[in-house]
Amino acid sequence: MTDTKRDGHKGFKSRTRLVHAGRDPSEQFGYVNTPIYRGSTVLYPTLDDLYARRGRFSYGTQGTPTTQALETAWTELAGAAGTVLVPTGLAAITLALLTAVKAGDHILVTDSAYRPCRNFCDTVLRRMGVETTYYDPLIGGGLESLVRQNTRVVFLETPGSQSFELQDVVAIKAVAEAHDLCTIIDNTWGTPLFFPPHERGMDMAIEAGTKYLSGHSDLLLGLVSANARWYPRLRATYDAFAMCPGPEDVFLALRGLRTMELRLREAERQGLAMARWLAARPEVVQVLHPALPQCPGHALWKRDFLGSTGLFSVLLAPFSREALAAMLDGLELFGMGYSWGGFESLVIPFDCRTYRTATQWNPPGPALRFSIGLEDIEDLQADLAAGFERLNAHA
C-alpha cells in the first residue's frame, strides 16, 4: 500500500485510482474514509517544534488531513504537481488568474468562458491594470495575431459550457509555448477523467467541484491543479488569500470522488441517448453535443477527449417566449435552475448575445441547455415530448 501511494497509483486505471487515491486507513484506526477534521489551532509539543512549525499540519488555513486527502487525490487524477481547494468554482478561476498576472499585463480569454469569469476580468482585473481581450473560441492558431508584448495568459474553456464550441487545444498550446504564455483551462465539463488537462499541456486547470465531483447539488467547491512550473506560485498565492473551503464540503466531495467515473459514464450514456432523441425532433434545428458526429467540433472532441458528459445544448426553431414558457413551466421532471452535474435533470434557456464580444451568436430561435440526470430516459423523453406539444400549441 505504501509503495503504490508514493508513486500515485501509477499503472492503475482511473477507476482504481478513484477508489484508492487520497486515503490511508492505517492513519485513521482502519476506517475506510478520511474523517472530517475541523480546526484552527494545531498544537506543538515543544518550543523548538513551534518555532520550526514542525509537523504535517501547522494551522487550519494551511490544510487539514481532510483537505489534504482531496488535494492528493485530485493531483493524482489530474496528473498535476499539486492542487489547491477553494470554496467555489468561480474562486478557482479568480485564484488561477491572480496567480498568473500582475499590473500591466494583457490576457486572452475565450469568448465562450463562464460568464462570471468575464465579470472578474472586466471589473477587478481591469481595476488592477490587467487588460483582457476576448477571442473567438474557434480561433485556433490564429490566436497568434492577438498576442502582444505584455500578453501573459491564455484562458480556455472547451467545450464552452453553454454554446459548446470545441477549442483547438493543440494549436493554442503551440502559440502559448512560442510566446511563453501561461495556459489556464476551465475543465469543468470534461473533468480530468475525460480531458487530462496537464497531459494536454495546460499549466493550470480549474474544476468547479460543485458539478460532477459533488454530483449531488449539495455543495460548492473549486479546485485548481497545476503543473510543476506553476504549482509553487499557485500555492503561494493561495496561502496569501487563505480562501479555504469548509471541511464538510470537502468530505462530501471526497465521497463524490469515489463514484465519479461511474456517474460520468452514466451521464455520458444518458446524455447521448437524449441528444440523439432531440436531434430527431422537428422543433430542434441543431444539437450542440460534441460526441455526436453531426455536431460542430466533433473531430476535435474525438482527438482530445476520452468521453462526453451529460451537459449539452440545442437550438430550437423560432418560437415565442410564451410558447417557450408553456413548454418549460409545465415540465414535470426537468428542473429549471442554474448549475448542473447533479443526479437530477435540468434545463435552462440561454442567450449568449447578451454578453459575447468577440463572436456573433445568432441562433434561429431559443437555445436550451440540458443537464441530463439519472432518471429513466424514457420518462425524461416523455416529459420533453409533452413539453414540445405545449410549445407547438402556442406556435
The CB-of-137 to ligand PLP minimum distance in angstroms stands at: 13
Nearest residue (CB) to ligand PLP, 78 versus 90: 90
CB proximity list for 159: less than 8 A, separation 6 or greater: 112, 165, 166, 167, 189, 290, 297, 301
The CB-of-309 to ligand PLP minimum distance in angstroms stands at: 11
- Counting Cα atoms < 13 Å in the Cβ hemisphere of 383 gives 19
The CB-of-26 to ligand PLP minimum distance in angstroms stands at: 33
Nearest residue (CB) to ligand PLP, 90 versus 323: 90
Nearest residue (CB) to ligand PLP, 34 versus 188: 188
Burial of 273: CB neighbours in 10 Å, binned 0-12, 13-18, 19+: middle
CB-CB contact of 331 with 388 (8 Å): no
Q: Which residue has the cell 423523453?
A: 381
What is the C-alpha separation between 48 and 67, in angstroms, rounded?
26
Nearest residue (CB) to ligand PLP, 82 versus 89: 89
Residue whose Cβ sits closest to ligand PLP: 89
The CB-of-106 to ligand PLP minimum distance in angstroms stands at: 22
What is the C-alpha separation between 107 and 189, in angstroms, rounded?
22
Segment holding 276, helix H or strand E = helix 260-279
Nearest residue (CB) to ligand PLP, 80 versus 208: 208
The CB-of-94 to ligand PLP minimum distance in angstroms stands at: 10
Nearest residue (CB) to ligand PLP, 65 versus 210: 210
The CB-of-90 to ligand PLP minimum distance in angstroms stands at: 4
What is the C-alpha separation between 322 and 317, in angstroms, rounded?
14
Enumerate binding residues for ligand PLP (CB under 6 A): 88-90, 114, 157, 161, 186, 188, 208, 210-211, 220, 222, 339
